[in-house]
Amino acid sequence: MRDDRTITHLCLVSRALGAEAIVMEEVEKELRDTMSDVCRSWGGEFEILEEPSWKKVVMAAKKEGRAVVHLTMYGIPLQDRLNKMRSLDRLLVVVGGPKVPGEIYGLADFNIAITNQPHSEVAALAILLHELQEGKELKRKFRESRIKIIPQNSGKKVELAH
């Protein structure tokens, strides 16, 4: 089982960098509460879905026309597949780590490596989402947020909705 902090970070990064939803084998109540709080405060729509069978998720995604991108250090370098992936409309990104069985390599449309070095699924997901959207995700606005940060050269400035 991956640790809670990493799972929370995968959710937060997915939301912040523009994913519409995340699907997990199991969603702990605490995580669901955390993400509800984040969405209520910071705005936007982001769904946490639970599905014990990873394969069902992958097959359903394929059926609805999503390309399946599996992040793995054993895959093809990101930079060699970016053009092809950017032309795709809808994706399912699989971030597995040790839990994902070998079968995913055959089912994925792309097995992609963000370097062939060991590091972090959170970092790999972040760079993938960033590159797929060519940085546009950094400018994303989140609707109906209660908290808004006003960027500062130094210090913190926060605007609260009334």
CA distance 129 to 93: 9
If one asks whether residue 113 binds a copy of itself (CB under 8 A), the answer comes out as yes
Alpha-carbon distance of 46 to 143, in angstroms, equals 11
Q: Judged by CB under 8 A, which stretch of 56-64, 84-92, 93-101, 154-162 contacts a copy of itself?
A: 154-162
Question: Residue 122 and residue 114: Cα distance in Å, rounded?
Answer: 11
Q: Does 114 bind a copy of itself (CB under 8 A)?
A: yes
Task: Single out the residue of 1, 117, 160, 162 in contact with a copy of itself (rule: CB under 8 A).
Answer: 117
User: What is the C-alpha separation between 149 and 45, in angstroms, rounded?
Assistant: 18
CB closer to a copy of itself out of 36 and 116: 116
Exposure string for 121-145, b = 16+ CB within 10 A, e = fewer: bbebbbbbbbbbeeeebeeeebeeb
139 counts as binding a copy of itself under rule CB under 8 A: yes
Strands 158-160 and 147-149: antiparallel
Residue placing its CB nearer to a copy of itself in the complex, 85 or 127: 127
Q: How many residues bind a copy of itself (CB under 8 A)?
A: 56
Q: Which residues bind a copy of itself (CB under 8 A)?
A: 3, 5-6, 9, 12-13, 15-17, 38, 42, 72-79, 102, 105-106, 108, 111, 113-120, 122-127, 130-131, 135, 137-140, 142, 148-149, 151-158
